[in-house]
Amino acid sequence: MCLSSAEIALMVGQLKKEICPSRLEQVYQIAPTDITWKLSASGKRKTLLFSAHPSRSRIHLLTEPPDPPDDPPDFARSLRRHLVGGILTDIEQVSGDRIVRVSFQKGSDRLVFVAELMGRGSHLLLLDENDEILAALRRYRGKQRTLAPRLPYAAPAAPAQPKPSAVRPYLLEGDGPSRLAEVFYRDMEREAGRLERIVALRKFLGRARRKAAGTATKIRSALTATEMAGQWQRMGEALKASLGKLRKGMKEAVVPDPHSSEGGELRIPLDPAKGPVENMNSIFRTSRKLRRGRVEIEKRLAWAEAEVGRVQSALDALEIASDDEAVTDVERDGVRHGWFNRPSGRKRAPARRQGHRKFFSRDGLEIWVGRTDRENDVMTFRHARGDDLFLHVDGRPGSHVIVRLGRGREVPQETLLEAAELAAHFSSAREHEKVEVIYTPRKHVRRSGRGHAGQVTIARERRMLLRRDTDRLGRVLSSVRSPEEVPS
């Protein structure tokens, strides 16, 4: 969601007051499409962002600038060489369009930085006083113009019928448009980053699942072959009973079947290079080998099927991951199991384990919600007591939910509904208007025994068809406490 021309006008109006004039102290390229300037205006340090992102092109100040990269790309180097130490003298919007021109004076040089904030057609360029391009974030060759260093700059053609431009209401609130835009786009980029990670992880996990399923299929084929051990034993016994009729050089033997009550015969392929005894011993060895291999193959098949289940469990957890911590847990599991190297291609700072989520019901009871499969398992089987209430959405991936109850205490109806809302919200059925939720005392919940963390079997469950209530969900979500704030 890019800034409109009306919103850019609002930003430029604020920036004129806050950074004109100012001294440019440093330039950073914090992302492939994003440039930040470190400015000194009236003794105050300010950071200005220009983003040419195709879906989030914008300009605004940053109160929380990100850490600068170690090695600046070529465009940032060019801006540093030409602009750092210069004075930002003016900033203006071009005739109501989504183009911003920033004027600089550095010694006797007059330079202009141009930001075309037009979504997919965004460009960031540095021009000299004759409007010749000195540096460009990206080169562009189109039907009407070419953008590259040492070429004259040509502005984009104005649309024949300009689209109506409006200011979104959130930019008109009390903190000023720049700060409000910073918060809005920061949250948007976090969510976009989370979704990008989910897409990448889904791809890697899908590949791991296909690989595990293929391995299981091959092992099943090998297991099927071991079922022929009895048939090979039968052929060996048939040859043993008819050794006197066999000769070296025979390719096939048709001999009576000693296990047939109807006088049937067996057609047995032979190695013509071997004698009768050697052929018989070879067939018996094959039978023994298949019998011995079956035990090992069954172990391998059990592991392969469990691996398919583990990958599927990770995919299910990814589908209901509602925050970065949950996505990081799935990523960490994938690396630990060897399904992939870290998809991001870079190390992430180790996240502090947050533990399960903790909420309070209207009745003052604590409600726990697991974040990941492992935390579901730890929360349910290590921390919850037998008299606590366990809830889960029926037949769908989702978080375990625990209502903390004293011995012999019944769960209040409102607390039960709030806990059911949380179970539905933190599951793959979160968008459904009606969700079936099962619940039972924790003492009736057991691990499934399949080796998958978080998978359980439930006895004596009760069921409820929950009609979703956004007001109830909002109230209980707002009661979240951090682990430090909630007494253990």
DSSP-derived secondary structure letter, 351:
P
Question: What fold characterizes domain 185-345?
Answer: Helix Hairpins (1.10.287)
pLDDT digits (tens, 9 = 90+) for 218-249: 888 888 877 777 787 888 888 888 888 888 99
Work out the pLDDT band at 351, boundaries 50, 70, 90: very low
Q: Which residues face 116 on adjacent strands?
A: 99, 123
Predicted confidence at residue 488, as pLDDT, reads: 38
Residue 267 has pLDDT above 50, yes or no: yes
Helix (H) or strand (E) holding 441: strand 434-441
Question: What confidence score (pLDDT) does residue 162 get?
Answer: 60
Q: How far apart are CA 462 and CA 480, in angstroms?
A: 27
Residue 249: CA count within 13 A, CB half-sphere:
1
Average pLDDT over residues 327-338: 84
Q: According to the model, what pLDDT value does residue 290 have?
A: 76
Give the pLDDT score at 450.
Answer: 58
Q: Please give the pLDDT value at position 357.
A: 86
Say what the pTM is.
Answer: 0.55
pLDDT of residue 451: 54
Query: For 67-96, how does the pLDDT look when each residue is reduced to its tens digit (9 = 90+)?
Result: 888 788 999 999 999 999 999 999 999 887
pLDDT at residue 482 tops 80 = no
Give the pLDDT score at 314.
86
Mean pLDDT is highest, among 57-71, 105-119, 234-248, 274-288, for 105-119
Mean pLDDT computed over 14-32: 92
Which residue type is seen at 443? K
Alpha helices in 320-368 (DSSP H): 324-337
Using alpha carbons, list the distances in angstroms from residue 487 to 359, 367, 399, 482, 484: 12, 13, 22, 10, 7
Please write the tens of the pLDDT for every residue from 40-68. Answer: 988 899 999 999 999 889 999 998 888 88
All residues at 6 or more sequence positions from 457 whose CB lies less than 8 Å from its CB, including other chains: 445, 446, 447, 448, 449
Could you report the per-residue pLDDT of 160-197, keeping only the tens digit for each? 666 666 676 666 666 678 888 888 888 888 888 888 88
Q: Which residue has the higher pLDDT, 375 or 132?
A: 132
The tokens of 44 are what?
Answer: 């105050």
Give the per-residue pLDDT at 124.
Answer: 96
**Quick check: 426 pLDDT over 70?**
yes
Closest CA to 283 of 269, 297, 296: 269
Q: At CA 184, angle to CA 180 and CA 187, rounded to 5?
A: 140
* pLDDT value at 481 more than 60: no
According to the model, what pLDDT value does residue 356 have? 83
The pLDDT-based confidence of 278 (bands split at 50, 70, 90) is very high
Is residue 111 very low, low, confident or very high in pLDDT (cuts 50, 70, 90)? very high
CATH code for the part of the protein at 5-167:
2.30.310.10
> Residue 113: is its pLDDT beyond 70?
yes
CA distance 28 to 189: 18
In the Cβ-directed half-sphere of 135, how many Cα atoms lie within 13 Å? 17
Residue 147 has pLDDT above 60, yes or no: yes
> What is the model's pLDDT at position 50?
95
Work out the mean pLDDT of the chain and round it to a whole number: 85
Reduced to 3 DSSP states, what percent helix, strand and coil does the chain have, rounded to the nearest 5? Answer: 40, 25, 35
> Where does the pLDDT of residue 148 fall: very low under 50, low under 70, confident under 90, or very high at 90 and above?
very high
Residue ranges per structural domain of the chain: 5-167, 185-345, 357-477
Q: Does residue 123 sit in helix, strand or coil?
A: strand
The arithmetic mean of pLDDT across residues 332-336, rounded, is 84
